[in-house]
Structure 1
Amino acid sequence: MLSISDFSILSRLTEDAFYICKLDPYKTPSVILDVNPSACCMLGYSREELIGKSTKEIVHPNLHNRLSSFFETLEEAVPKQYHSVHVCKGGKLLTVEVTAQLLTVQDEVYAFAICRDITPQIRSEQALYHLAYFDSRTNFPNQSWLQEKISSVFGCLQDERKLLFLAISFDNFYIVADAYGWKMANHVMEELMLQAQTCDTEIYLGQSERNEFLLVHPIQDEEEATNWAARLMKKLEKNNFSQTLLFRPRIIGGLYINSIVELDAFEKINSAIERSLTALHLARSSGKSQLCYHPQMVMDVLRRQHFYNLLRDAMDEKQFYLAYQPIFDINQKLVAAETLLRLNGPNGAISPAEFIPVVERTGMIHDLGEYVLQQAFQDFSSLYRQNLESPLILSINCSVHQLEHPKFYPYLLKLFSQHIIPPSQVKLELTETVMLNSAVHLEMIKKLKDLGVMIAIDDFGTGYASFTYLLDIRPDVIKIDQSFIRKLAQVDKPDRDNERIVASMLTLARQLGISTVAEGVETVPQLQWLQQHGCDYIQGYLLGKPMPFVEFEKVVKYSTSVSGSMESQENIL
């Protein structure tokens, strides 16, 4: 169990201000017990000056009641955010974003707060608005501005006219940029947009990509729209700078037409803009100067639907299967295996990176997750029945979406009751790239740990908030992402910064009592480096590729015969 001093040490790893405070009888932070160097730097106090100071001395007097109200709503171990104003030593005011939570440490509840200075963001609100709604190169309104403008102007009108959504591409933009530089290319783009804007009094213009802009114009019918767009594009190609810059811009257009009365919602306007861009992109790829949107253009949507059907059929026909990748301790003894979901499509293997996002987005992850759990338990039960002296750890990837499903935990309990695998021999790997701080996630993780199941953070170091995870989730294992391991022990071009980062991860995990697994170990120098720096476990093609369970059984038998017997495991993974 971590002590207050342990939290103080950990706080030095974050660049944000970090406070540990005692609570008064009303659950409001009273006295500051400790701070990190960032807090001292932010407020201009020394550490000695801040420790023992009342929290109300650094919070603006007008916000004392808000401070009390906020902490009264806090639940233990559930972080919440709010904005406050802190007073520096010299009286300067800082607007800060506070992330706070209550934690019990050695039977006493403390307030932990991470504070980030957001004063520059608040002061630059107008600049942020300009950044959000205007292009930084041409200063023309962008697509977001155009959507809101059209919605406000035409969204409530009962007008019999139609709206032409015209997406225009300055198609040889990059040729101009290569020949004359980016500044000249952006200037040409700006001039083209200015010319388009002067073609009619009722034109609404917005920039999309670097070489594309969007134009919305009321018209009477489709014939008028087509002719008007053709005239505009021809005019833009015959501009004043064509002769001086020795080129003529190639203009391509994509049209979408709809009646004003049908564009009665913001999402319909957004859809109209996207359809004009779809027509533009198809015109460019087919070598045409102008195309009008047609529903047949939405082939990408149909392809996605076809892919979904393929996955659905694969589930119904049990075409998914599991592969197992061995995990070894630092002395290269087999101790565990990670289950990896695989699928072969009509044209060969389909990458999990391709199908997992689809099954998560469509809700298929729950059925597929149950299949993975059931099959993995069934496979590993056969290993247990072979009376191995020291059973292997079963490591299963788990989507955060599964944690939210009400049937996930009962189904897991059912599997434990049906199979001889104890919870202590099962590890669930959660991917760090998904934010895992909701009350639902944390509650489920706590139930799993109480059951005896181990929790691992997969792809550690690549996700949202590694430091927060270590505090909130208290994982048993972190798996260092292969993007870090790949750069270790490079002979040609050593990456010392990357090596320092990995060494720091290993040191931090060791100090917190967390086991470490290096993913993607492919070379002997990488293995030797990890051995020298105290990594606990190794996974990668160097020692074992993913394989069907039948092949993995052979690896287990061979490993057992070589070692004589697999020694008793304690604190494995």
Structure 2
Amino acid sequence: MESSKFSAFDDQLVADADDEQQRLTALYRFGILDTLPEPQFDRLVALAAQFFDMPMASVTFIDEHRQWFKARIGFDASEGPRSLSFCSIAIAQEGVMVVPDATQDARLRTFANVTGQPHLRFYAGAPLITSDGHKLGTLCVLDQRPREFSAEQQTLLEAFAAMAMDELNLRRAVQDLGTMALHDSLTGLPNRAHFRQLMAQACRRADHSGEKVVVGIMDLNRFKIVNDTLGHASGDKLLQQVALRLKHSVATSDVVARMSGDEFTLLLTDVRSVRDAANVMERIQRALEQPFKLRGQEIFVRCSIGLSSYPDNTQEPEQLLNQADAAMYRIKRAGGGYAWFDEAKDQRSPVEIEQLTALHHAIERDELRLVFQAITDIESRLPVGHEALLRWERPSGVVSPLTFIPLAETTGLIVPIGRWVLREAARAVQYGQISRVSVNVSALEFQQPDFVEYVETVLRQTNIQPEQLWLELTESCLLETERYAVVIEQLSALGVQTALDDFGTGYSSLTALAQLPVKILKIDRRFTAEVSDFTGPGRRALEVLRGVVTIARAYGLTIVAEGVETEQQAQALKDIGCTFLQGYLFGYPDPLPVGLPQYHNRDSGQQRTSLSG
């Protein structure tokens, strides 16, 4: 009988130790300990002290051997031993812990902060509880004289603790969002926008050091076969393993990033000679020669790498990627390996040249079309406007926007094409076919000195109200926020609203909220897609979105969630406070309905009854 008692006691000790380890793990996951003061927590303790008429208050976290004060008022200590902490006792019990007079409490009366400075007498502490029940610390109020604390006051103190947890969860969501904006979710590598930032920084350093920067674009040969035969899950695992081998093949000062799909980029810094870069390429090729194991099978991978050097090949950092890309396609056609950019060999292909020539005449030949996708009010499910999307319909067939938009941007044709889109989209509003239109604007269009003047001209000629026009900024506009903020202010002065598109996919998106005076935030479809899955990643995506919405509301922004395809997604986005939704659930991008006022393309002299011709 006695042995069974001891066994039960031992089991309880093990269970308590496990619970404490899980609690500490939950605490460390927030990354809050030993951080600098933050105003949201300071304001909260000041408000609690004022509300309860207490001289002292704090937000306290209980570490393994100490209590640490994230925010405090009325005393100077930043931490203290856990063994002498009122709060460590408070988190070991249920509900709010109230101590009317510490000198009369057997647990506390010998504590140094009771017998000596600051001579604590009264204490009330409400636990800070995570969604899965772990108590991280307390929000507490204290006094140097005995006091009573009613049941109503205890309930209110619990509300203050809940507000502290809300701030803590929001802080973590912002950190997660920053990480997601900087890195590829599958491989953990820097993403496209982050890579471009790092590349620009490396080139600036090279200007002073006199050394070279080498940019490489790497593509896996015949990667599609892995996806088609073994499935996308195996393809994802292969990409993760490739990413790991690439990181081990370069120096710690170099960068490996994932651009998209099976395309990776390399940034080699402090390069003294071509031979240095060649050594890295040989290490990468040796690393990839070893077989990969997927679902019990050995998979052999070959790659194609194109390289360009700063400042040898170009003195424009952005041009490095274009040159490396051209060299990569050349060596891929030759069967794989690596190659340096060669201006004589890496000219545009005959197909690209033909498309470019045709694109020059697309407007005059009346080949460009606009389709429109509804932006829907989340409550009424009625359209509040439409996004204009560009299509190119040639006699030989439809050309994908993924093909001709980059071609237009790299050649400067995006400026006249973008102006055509803006004018024609405004005319759709003018003729009453839609009530409001949202138009994408490239960075190159924004850079035109007469851009605002042109927008004003379109408004005047079509006689539409400025608030009926939204202009969506692409991610590349965010790389020079100060420059574009001036243009956005000028547009705001006209009454035209600007939107930050694809929020969360690029390096600058988070900081841009504070730096760009935009009025609308469009959440990228990649965030929305995960919301339909309420497993771990889906819940995490929803919490991140909740943080985005909270931040956006703090800046007074209207929120549009893109890529909504299911009712489950729509309801989840409604629950976290999104304003508008856009996606296939509410309609595909389509030409305007036939039978509305006739739509006339003044440039071509032709008339048609819908935007699709």
TM-score, normalisation: structure 2: 0.46
TM-score, normalisation: structure 1: 0.49
